[in-house]
Amino acid sequence: MDRYEPLKIEEKWQKIWEETEAFSAKEIDGMPKMMLAEMFPYPSGAGLHVGHVRNFTIVDVLTRFYRQQGLNVLRPFGYDTFGLPAENYAIKTGTAPQEITKVNIDNFRKQAKKLGFAIDWSREVNTSDPEYYKWTQWCFLQLYKKGLAYQKESYQWWCPEDQTVLANEQVENGKCWRCGHEVEKKKMKQWFFKITEYADELLDEIDNLEWPEKIKTMQKNWIGRSAGAEIDFKADNGKNITVFTTRPDTIKGATFIVLAPEYQGLDFIVTDDCKDAVMKYKADALKKSEVERQENKEKTGVFTGSYAVNPATKEKIPIWVADYVLAGYGTGAIMAVPAMDDRDREFAEKFDLPIVETELVDRDLYGTPKVTYKMRDWLISRQRYWGCPIPIAYDKEGNPHPIPEDQLPVIIPEVEDYQPDNSGRSALAKAKDWLKVTIDGEEMTRETDTLDGYACSSWYLWRYASPHDNKAAWDSEAIKYWEPVDYYVGADHAVAHLLYIRFWCKFFADQGYLPFREPIKRLLYNGYINAPDGKKMSKSKGNVIDPLDVINDGYGADTLRTYEMFIGPYDMDAAWDPRSVGGVYRFLNRCYNLLGDIKEVDNIIIRNKTIKKVTEDIHKYNFNTAVAALMEYVNELYKVGASSEDLVTLAKLLKPFAPHLASEMLEKLDADDEWPKWDEKYLVSDTVTVVVQINGKLRAKLEVSADDLEDEKKIMDMVLSDRKVQKYTEDGIKKQIFVKKAKLVNLVV
């Protein structure tokens, strides 16, 4: 019997899969389908990292698992290629981003192939390919036609470092999500997508999704629906100030009005005496981020000199300006009820304004009912070169016109210098010839903003259904067969990408282009892999593990894949452990070596038990315990000897994790890879259920073998490592009792 030589075996099978196009997927009428994808990567110059490997391997385990079960499975792959790193590199080196992107994609593809993923390589999608972004532009035009892509002048987040505006979703704690530079507010005319049009549906359908609760909650909070009322307060000068309140019943206690510093019409309210102070206050407020303004710091504000009448009490109340009132929420004006609201109370105390306790009034008495959302329209203009050009041109009066669909794509022009100037326009403005375009005989000037990269990723999952279609963004028949996506796996973009793609889905469903309203059935959100010391891996700390090193050190891709599934529950962060990598490698060696010593035995019970455990674990995404069960199975086989049937089962169950080794074993055993089934009749007598009570409440049930019941330590170990049990015992356990006769574990916490 020869040695296990992973690199040799892996090269052999990768070649076979490539030559036979083993994973190419075709629509087959009547055959049940399964579509899976990871959040496609940005192909950086650094190549794949261990986080990618975890993410892609989860998709691959499920892909192979369902293939082995006889489903028609599609697992495509793509690259999210627009963005600042390529552009910044271009600015530094003068190399065109197109070239850098090509090199990086080639590298990513080569590396992904080394990992043996069951990808249909004929379906690659690349967002910066003109054949792709032609259809991104087409999507933009559909939204434009329906009034859902529009221009508006407003204050926007501006990153002075990257010299571009940012969407709200891209500002994190007042800093740019990319470079970490403090952002500021700038008044500019920008393009938006009207995502708020779908706010209700985006919110109402969240509960029907098989998505992690934490992501659903984040989306709900982001959309932030509040039901209340808008109430008019008449100011001295006769103008109405409309406030938004969720507590119209508290109106009798409203003793002053507060306007946001950016409040439109502020100029008409401020008296001449107060003008200087208000303008100075406004200028200071504009420098602060919304997060900063909502922090619980000492309240600041300034009086406008004007008053308004409280419609409930008929009393004159002063109008103030303060930055704790945000411009973009509600109407940007509030009625302050210091007796009821903490922020208003702090403000009243600081500025010596009246705090009046009064009775509540009937909620519908004043104002008109109004629903408000925290979510804003999606700002899509970017003043950057390396993005999808917005297909718009302006006439001499500055009115926008769509580029006719038959003139798409609007190709990104070549320029010599990618550096944006300080005019607030992208480097596209330097392509003087490109700027000129004739539409319906009229000379026009092209838009020089490009689209937020999130627009490009808002429809790529649909492109996977027919990636080479040159007549449509996606083929209606192909999309009907493959989609919505059954499993989507990623570790990022909880509110940005995952909300935008739902919005586009609803929009295109309304236009008759999609036969479903939710694009992703099940979402798996995987944890990060950290350095051995538990810290985030980063180049500057020098603690990065390169997956390619692990392969080339002789461990091979199967060890890397299996290790990353074994490292812990898929949805939790985990620290890299080099010793455990070695352990997995030895395990795979032991699997292979069993081939050299096939015995005439019949291990029907452990075989059935293992099939059941691995199958159910994969269904529950417990990939780590599935691998552990295979390790236990192999240990047993070493004790009692393995028949060829035992080994065929092992190889089949191992294949989603270590596909090269498993394929080699199955070839040697002359067997196919059809997923094995278990027979309950071999399991009945073998397992018992242990019930776990925590503080008297039933919290978990564990299947254990009847033999294990004799071993108290083993039972307690199993109970304490159960995830449900761990959830309830986070704060420590005071007392633990095992009652063997009753098959019961009692925990007191």
- Looking at 91, 125, 269, 335, which residue binds ligand ANZ (CB under 6 A)? 335
Per DSSP bridges, beta strands 687-694 and 697-705 are antiparallel
Could you say which of 74, 302, 337, 647 contacts ligand ANZ (CB under 6 A)? 337
605 scored as a contact of ligand ANZ (CB under 6 A): no
By the rule CB under 6 A, 373 interacts with ligand ANZ: no
Per CB under 6 A, 340 contacts ligand ANZ: yes
Q: 375 vs 139, 197, 333, 369, 662, CA distance in Å? A: 22, 11, 17, 19, 49
CA gap 17, 24 in Å, rounded: 10
Q: What's the one-letter identity of residue 439?
A: I
CA 508, CA 513: separation in Å to the nearest integer? 5
In three-state secondary structure terms, 167 is coil
Compute the least distance from the CB of residue 493 to ligand ANZ, in Å: 24
Nearer to ligand ANZ, 371 or 733 (CB): 371
Backbone CA torsion sign across 198, 200, 202, 208:
negative
Contact 475, 514 (CB under 8 A): no
Which residues, listed in sequence order, are joined to residue 704 by a DSSP beta bridge? 688
Q: Between residues 122 and 246, which has the closer beta carbon with respect to ligand ANZ? A: 246
Q: Is 12 in the site for ligand ANZ (CB under 6 A)?
A: no
| Nearest residue (CB) to ligand ANZ, 370 versus 607 | 370
Q: CA 49 to CA 43: how far, in whole Å?
A: 11
Position 334 contacts ligand ANZ (CB under 6 A): yes
Q: Is 155 in the site for ligand ANZ (CB under 6 A)?
A: no
The smaller minimum CB distance to ligand ANZ, of residues 247 and 517, is found at 247
CB of 285 to ligand ANZ, least distance (A): 12
Rounded to an integer, what distance in angstroms lies between the CA atom of residue 201 and that of residue 353?
42
330 lines the binding site for ligand ANZ (CB under 6 A):
yes
Q: Is 223 in the site for ligand ANZ (CB under 6 A)?
A: no
Work out how close the CB of 189 gets to ligand ANZ at its nearest, in angstroms, rounded to a whole number: 23
- Residue 247 neighbours by CB under 8 Å, 6+ apart: 228, 337, 340, 341
Nearer to ligand ANZ, 326 or 605 (CB): 326
Residue 569 CB neighbours (<10 A): 15
- Binding to ligand ANZ (CB under 6 A) within 258-297 occurs at 260
Q: How far is the CB of 368 from ligand ANZ (least distance, A)?
A: 15
* Angle (deg, nearest 10), helices 6-19 and 659-669: 80
Stretch that binds ligand ANZ, among 9-17, 68-76, 330-338, 451-459 (CB under 6 A): 330-338
Site string (242-261) toward ligand ANZ, x via CB under 6 A: --xxxx--x---------x-
* Minimum CB–partner distance for residue 99 and ligand ANZ (Å): 47
The string of DSSP codes covering 405-426 is GGG---PPPP-S-----TTS--
226 binds ligand ANZ (CB under 6 A): yes
Which residue, 701, 571, 489, is CA-closest to 61? Answer: 489
Q: Cβ contacts of residue 381 below 8 Å, gap of 6+? A: 165, 190, 191, 390, 449, 450, 451, 452
CA distances, 310 to each of 147, 243, 258, 572, 603 (Å): 38, 11, 13, 53, 84
Q: Does 221 participate in binding ligand ANZ (rule CB under 6 A)?
A: no
Q: Given the complex with ligand ANZ, which of 244 and 678 has the nearer CB atom?
A: 244
> CB under 6 A: which stretch of 313-321, 337-345, 449-457, 537-545 binds ligand ANZ?
337-345
194 near ligand ANZ, rule: CB under 6 A: no
Single-letter residue type at 494: A
Comparison of 29 and 357: residue with beta carbon closer to ligand ANZ: 357
Judged by CB, which is closer to ligand ANZ: 372, or 649? 372
What is the nearest approach in angstroms of ligand ANZ to the Cβ of residue 198?
19
Q: Which residues sit at the interface with ligand ANZ, rule CB under 6 A?
A: 226, 228, 244-247, 250, 260, 325-326, 329-330, 332, 334-335, 337, 340-341, 372
